[in-house]
Amino acid sequence: MSAAGLSYTPGRVAARGLLLDLGLILLATLALRLPALSISTFENAASWDEHAFLMAAREVLQGQLPYITFWDHKPPGSTVLLAGAMTLLGPTVEAARWLAILAVAAAGGAIYGVAWRLLPDRLLALGAALLWVVFSARLSGVQLMTEALQAPFTAVAVLLLIDAARPRAPGALAWRFALAGLAAGIAVTVKYVPAIPASLVAAAALLALLRARFGFLRCVGMGLLFSAGLLLPTLLAIGIFWQAGALDAFLHANFGFASGYVSFSEHVRGAWAERLRWIGISLVQTWPLFGLTALALLPVSLRLLPRGFALLAIALWWVGEAIALCLQSRFFDHHFIPLLAPMAVISAAMLVLHARRLAAPGLAPQLAALALVFLGLMPLAQDVLEVATARVRQDVPRQVAAALPPGAELYVSNYAPVIYLLADSPLPVRHAWPSHLVGSRLVDAEVPEERARLLAQKPRFVVFHEAWRNNAVAWDVAALEAQEAMLAADYAPRQSWVLADARGTVTLYERRD
């Protein structure tokens, strides 16, 4: 132990404290997320993303490829991983939440390892992991988001690359680069943006090996192994879709649709106003981590930070995530979640190192621990309030599903798509997600045809959010007015639910015949 009473050797932590620390990370994740396990929706955009994952995964469980019977524009990794969770837990909302718990806890464990490589200090490593766990529950993170789902794979890739940045036996290095590439490749199948930070860190690790005179050809070989691992999962997916004759569906969903998506905006003042709005919301919820990361750039902090490749890797990790965020052009608050992982490491380092500098001898651990607890109180209080509020409100999607016969012929027009899953109802069309089927301008060419077929078929039940005109900019007005005309002519209201916070009324309609 150091004079400040903080540092431990790697061997002692591995023997005495690692399992305890990992258990604390898991316990903190469970404490934050278990209370929200069965809440079907939080009435936000992130909830509807989660609903899309649930519906896509249910279709995979029924033997379908992604995009074929339910269309979404996300890479297939989240669908496949959630389908795996559903295989064990059933096609339920809880399966998605358990997968999110596993992803956040696993990312916390990898972040612990990254922080330990920066400075072998148990308090710093555990603090970094717990800051990730607490702050990732913000930014719509309690739900299953692709940003949280890819986080453990990205963090593992960074951890392996930090260990690969110094010469050792070629076989050991080869395994590290190959596994780092594979971990990053799995993250890429969840969301493509992790390729940027992983590739930056990998390039830096190869340059570090070159400087250490590891050999140019050997470094090229290590780079090829990383690249092969990075590309393998996506190439495997392409091969599966090609073999099934559905490659066009894969390419359009993953690449062709993107140009229209990034230029689309639901904000009345346009795309830049929407971007500034989400940047502001995200900064308000995570400003302590941004502030401590900025503090690391001051000369006094740079003198305290340990020199070495680990610090460079963490900095490149953050830079890569920031570049990836900006390249998305259109983003929401949960798109900032990947930035939290490297910022959690730097923030914990700032608190521990400055506590050592400022505190009296022997009091540095207590001061650092107190600062870490204080830092986590704000997001913790916000999460407790949000989950408690959601739990005391009526769970409208579950109540709608309970009012329906099992397997009912159902069309959820402009409300929570998770009702299909809760009611065990088949999807009426391929573009069943409301933002695609009746979203303003954000449509595929076949959407008008699907919409016309739905209106002609007149499903037995229709779920309609009556207050859509309050946010008309987000919807296709002509499409929803046509549905209102159909409801008035052929349907009768069966039951209504008033949403909290003046969000309007949701009505279940039944065809009169």
Q: Say what the pLDDT of residue 14 is.
A: 55
Question: What pLDDT digit, counting tens, does each position of 130-148 carry?
Answer: 999 999 988 777 889 999 9
- Whether 242 maps to a domain, the answer reads yes
CA dist., res. 334 & res. 312, Å (int) = 26
Same-domain status, 26 and 116: yes
Question: For residue 356, what are its two tokens?
Answer: 């050592």
Q: Say what the pLDDT of residue 440 is.
A: 63
- Whether 1 maps to a domain, the answer reads no
**Domain end point (choices 390, 421, 440):** 390
How many residues would you count in the chain? 513
**Domain end point (choices 355, 390, 425):** 390
Q: Say what the pLDDT of residue 254 is.
A: 86
Q: Say what the pLDDT of residue 200 is.
A: 97
Confidence check: pLDDT of 3 > 60: no
Same-domain status, 448 and 373: no
Three-state DSSP class for 508? strand
Confidence check: pLDDT of 10 > 60: no
Same-domain status, 347 and 401: no
Question: What pLDDT digit, counting tens, does each position of 241-276 carry?
Answer: 999 999 999 998 888 776 666 555 555 465 667 677
When pLDDT is averaged across residues 91-110 and rounded to a whole number, the result is: 96
**Domain end point (choices 353, 371, 390):** 390
Beta strand 461-465 with 410-412 is: parallel
The structure's pTM equals 0.91
Q: Say what the pLDDT of residue 363 is.
A: 85
Same-domain status, 370 and 417: no
For the chain, the domain total comes to 2
| Range in 232-246, 400-414, 443-457 with the lowest mean pLDDT | 443-457
Long-range contacts of 302-310 (CB under 8 A, 24+ apart): 304/353, 304/354, 304/356, 304/357, 305/349, 305/353, 306/118, 306/119, 308/118, 309/162, 309/165, 309/166, 309/204, 309/205, 309/208, 310/114, 310/117, 310/118, 310/162
pLDDT: which is higher, 311 or 166: 311
Same-domain status, 402 and 456: yes
Question: What pLDDT digit, counting tens, does each position of 355-403 carry?
Answer: 988 887 778 888 888 988 888 888 888 888 888 888 888 999 999 999 9
Q: Say what the pLDDT of residue 269 is.
A: 60
- Whether 503 maps to a domain, the answer reads yes
Same-domain status, 384 and 418: no
Same-domain status, 96 and 179: yes
Share above pLDDT 70 across residues of the chain, in percent, rounded to a whole number: 92
Same-domain status, 386 and 474: no
Confidence check: pLDDT of 2 > 50: no
Identify the bridge partners of residue 410 per DSSP, sorted by sequence position. 461
Structural domain harbouring 470 = 396-511
CA dist., res. 292 & res. 279, Å (int) = 18
Other CB atoms closer than 10 Å to residue 179's CB: what's the count?
18
pLDDT, averaged across the chain: 89
Question: What pLDDT digit, counting tens, does each position of 281-299 carry?
Answer: 778 888 899 999 999 999 9
Same-domain status, 384 and 410: no
- Whether 3 maps to a domain, the answer reads no
- Whether 406 maps to a domain, the answer reads yes
95, 56, 59: which is closest to 78 by C-alpha? 56
Q: What are phi and psi of 505, to 5 degrees?
A: -120, 135
How many contiguous H segments (helices) and E segments (strands) does the chain have? Answer: 22, 4
Highest mean pLDDT among 45-49, 231-235, 301-305, 330-334: 231-235
Torsion (CA) 74, 80, 83, 85 in degrees, nearest 10: -110
When pLDDT is averaged across residues 17-35 and rounded to a whole number, the result is: 93
Listing DSSP states for 408-466 in one string gives: --EEE-SS-THHHHHTTPPPSSS--SHHHHSBSS---TTHHHHHHHHHHH--SEEEEET
20, 50, 32: which is closest to 433 by C-alpha? 50
Q: Say what the pLDDT of residue 460 is.
A: 95
Q: Say what the pLDDT of residue 418 is.
A: 95
CA dist., res. 376 & res. 380, Å (int) = 6
Other CB atoms closer than 10 Å to residue 137's CB: what's the count?
26
- Whether 268 maps to a domain, the answer reads yes
pLDDT category at 99 given cuts 50, 70, 90 is very high
Other CB atoms closer than 10 Å to residue 217's CB: what's the count?
8
When pLDDT is averaged across residues 217-235 and rounded to a whole number, the result is: 96
Question: For residue 72, what are its two tokens?
Answer: 């979404």
- Whether 237 maps to a domain, the answer reads yes
172, 481, 72, 406: which is closest to 82 by C-alpha? 72
Same-domain status, 178 and 53: yes
Q: Is the dihedral of CA 218, 221, 227, 233 positive or negative?
A: negative
When pLDDT is averaged across residues 158-172 and rounded to a whole number, the result is: 90
Contact 139, 336 (CB under 8 A): yes
Same-domain status, 345 and 430: no
Q: Specify the DSSP element, H or E, that contains 494.
A: strand 491-498
- Whether 2 maps to a domain, the answer reads no
CA dist., res. 105 & res. 28, Å (int) = 9
Q: Say what the pLDDT of residue 267 is.
A: 53
Same-domain status, 386 and 407: no
